[in-house]
Amino acid sequence: MTTLAPKAAGLPVEALGAVALSSAIRDAVAMGEERLVLMLRFSGLPRARRFGTRAELLREAWEPLNSTARVRSFKLPGGDLVAIGLPNASEALERHRQILFSMLEAEEAQQAVHLLRLPAQAAAVMAAVEDSLGMVAAMRAMALPEPESRAADAAALAAAERGLAAADLSFFLRRRKVCWLEPGGHNTRLFWEDRRVDLTEVCERLLPGCDISLTPAFGQRLLKSIDRRHLRDLTRPEEMRDMRRLALPLRLESLFSAEFLRLDAFMAESQRQKMILGLAAEDVLAAPELFMLARNFTEARGYQLMLEVSSPFAATLMSSLRGGFNFLRLQWSDDFPAADSPEAALLRDKLPQAADHIIMAGADRPAAIAWGWEAGIRLFQGRLIESQRPAG
């Protein structure tokens, strides 16, 4: 039996066996060395023969080859067994071929048991080993999805950017209330205004007929343009004059744009403190070094940071980020586990923020608010919140 390096978790001996065999065969062929190869291919047998007692007996019959001199035996991922021997081991290999033949029906044996010679029959041996590695089959299992709608190309993106430059941004911007909402309806207060665009809506208008999820990077690029436009608009005197608390989702790179730096210089610290800058978890993890810089910058200048996650799964992965953000913004969806389930309790434990610093967005249905209340969340945004008449 071939000696294997210590096993890493998730790394089955069979996979190491196939790799070792693949190289051993190619090494031998490249160097023109003669070898004999005995193969027992369970994949060539009918399904019933591949498992159970009959298969066990075949494996037992193979067992002595694991300790035969001048022979190395390999177990492959599909269960196939291969022994490779020096020419002077031919007797042992031939004897085992006969034993295996005697245990199978003639036709089955023809399919499953092969004694081949290297280098002459190298192609057949390599094909069999490749087959047992399973990659070709795995490739077949994966059919590329045929998208129903068109992916945007760069020309379409250029046209969309021209369209955006000519459009009135306020047409796309959605201003939504974020309210403090307690069970029983007491104490309802407006906390801040959330201003963002809906990318799907923007793309329907600017990239008609294209599915932006097929080219997510183009979506990011459009959002960056929108960020810059929006930041420029915020320096207008009428915006600056009566600035209220405002939540603004931004792409990480937008924090270093000329527009943001200009706005930053424009504002007094008291105004910066009213701004809650939202960063998507995906964006943070795509450029962690840039995020560190952004965090130091925004913290030093007095802004508040809000981490935005798209699913409860993502929220549970980010509990290490507790220290880096003032708020966490969850987006309600059907992926949230039922409020009284153990999964929900687990999720609540892992939320990377104290409950009173979490915003549940997408509160269009009572279920979202109910789930939030159960978790201690009091800040909500969504269609149901728009109709609230907060005091103050």
Binding positions for other proteins, 344-383, rule CB under 8 A? 350
Half-sphere exposure of 211 (CA within 13 A, CB side): 8
Q: What is the identity of the amino acid at 82? A: V
Nearest-angstrom CA–CA distance, 354 and 358: 7
What would the two tokens of residue 30 be? 């490249």
Enumerate residues 261-290 that contact other proteins by CB under 8 A. Answer: 261-262, 264-265, 281-290
Candidate residues 67, 270, 320, 387; the one interacting with other proteins per rule CB under 8 A: 320
Print the binding letters for residues 95-134 with other proteins: x by CB under 8 A, - otherwise. -------------------------------xx--x--xx
Candidate residues 111, 273, 310, 388; the one interacting with other proteins per rule CB under 8 A: 310
Alpha-carbon dihedral sign for residues 310, 314, 316, 321: negative
Enumerate residues 58-77 that contact other proteins by CB under 8 A. Answer: 72, 77
Question: Least separation, in Å, of the C-beta of 25 and other proteins?
Answer: 8
Enumerate residues 288-307 that contact other proteins by CB under 8 A. Answer: 288-293, 296-297, 299-300
Enumerate residues 162-201 that contact other proteins by CB under 8 A. Answer: none
Question: Least separation, in Å, of the C-beta of 326 and other proteins?
Answer: 16
Give the three-state DSSP class for 333.
coil
- Among the residue ranges 25-33, 182-190, 363-371, 377-385, the one whose residues contact other proteins (CB under 8 A): 25-33
Is-contact 302 268, C-beta < 8 A?
no
Please, which residue, 178 or 307, has the CB nearer to other proteins?
Answer: 307
Enumerate residues 240-259 that contact other proteins by CB under 8 A. Answer: 253, 256-258
Percentages of the chain per state (helix, strand, coil), in multiples of 5: 55, 15, 30
Enumerate residues 196-235 that contact other proteins by CB under 8 A. Answer: 213-218, 220-221, 224-225
Torsion of CA 277, 281, 285, 288, to 10 degrees: 20
Half-sphere exposure of 159 (CA within 13 A, CB side): 11
The Cβ of residue 292 has, within 10 Å, a number of other Cβ atoms equal to 12
Candidate residues 66, 235, 316, 388; the one interacting with other proteins per rule CB under 8 A: 316
Give 37's strand partners.
Answer: 84, 116
By the rule CB under 8 A, 142 interacts with other proteins = yes
User: DSSP readout, 271-296?
Assistant: HHTTEEEEEEHHHHHHSHHHHHHHHH
- Among the residue ranges 139-147, 177-185, 237-245, 360-368, the one whose residues contact other proteins (CB under 8 A): 139-147
Question: Least separation, in Å, of the C-beta of 72 and other proteins?
Answer: 5
